[in-house]
Amino acid sequence: MKGTKRSNATDWVDHVRRIRDRQDQQAFRELFEHFAPRVKGFVMRGGTDAAFAEECAQDVMATLWRKAHLFDPSRASVSTWVFTIARNRKIDLIRKQRRPEPEDLTWGPEAEPDQADVLGLQQETEELGRAIAALPEKQRNLIEKAYFGDLSHSEIAEQTGLPLGTIKSRIRLALDRLRHAMK
């Protein structure tokens, strides 16, 4: 079968079934030869280097071998399933690369901030408190809900019954006033 072109997806479904049911190495080899270079290209188009893409493709194909029993042809084609695995695996590997290693983390207590920084922060906090208190009540209430209550604009709209546009406008005006007050 090597080098033959697949014209319909049911051939690949049969390959996955053979892997699932009989751990058919020939079926896996054919799937691997077809999909591994395509997965590698897909991953590289996302801006990664060849080594990363190769690692990802290998991992995707190993996942296909181990999880063939999870494939459902009524939900997706084999290629959709393979590229979904590839996309998810690429995201996982990128996250893993960006996660700091334990030796990169600082251990022990954080360095104490110097007294000038603490004093400056206290003064800014007090200044911000006065600036918020000086806002018109309607703007102040929305700023408090958004920033201290940690509510989204939509959640504030639900809670207050105000239109979303009104909420956004009032918050924008309040932030503008706070920016000017903090100069």
Q: Which two tokens stand for residue 27?
A: 């079926």
Q: Which two tokens stand for residue 39?
A: 């997965």
Query: What does 24-46 look like in DSSP terms, one character per residue?
Result: -HHHHHHHHHHHHHHHHHHHHHT
Q: Which residue has the higher pLDDT, 100 or 127?
A: 127
Question: Is residue 127 a contact partner of residue 180, using CB atoms and an 8 Å limit?
Answer: no
Q: What distance in Å separates the CA atoms of residue 52 and residue 59, rounded to the nearest whole number? A: 11
Q: Among 18-27, 76-85, 104-113, which range has the highest average pLDDT?
A: 18-27
Amino acid present at 108: G
Binned at pLDDT 50, 70 and 90, residue 64 comes out as: very high
pLDDT of 16 > 60? The answer is yes
pLDDT of 161 > 70? The answer is yes
CATH fold, domain 133-181, is Arc Repressor Mutant, subunit A (1.10.10)
**Angle of helix 9-22 relative to helix 78-98, nearest 10 degrees?**
70
Helices and strands (DSSP H and E) totals, the chain: 8, 0
Residue range 9-100, CATH number: 1.10.1740.10
In the chain, where are the structural domains located?
A: 9-100, 133-181
- The predicted pLDDT at position 125 comes to 76
Please state, for a pLDDT cut of 90, what percent of the chain lies above it: 33
pLDDT of 105 > 70? The answer is no
With a threshold of 0.85, does the pTM exceed it?
Answer: no
Binned at pLDDT 50, 70 and 90, residue 100 comes out as: low
- The predicted pLDDT at position 1 comes to 47
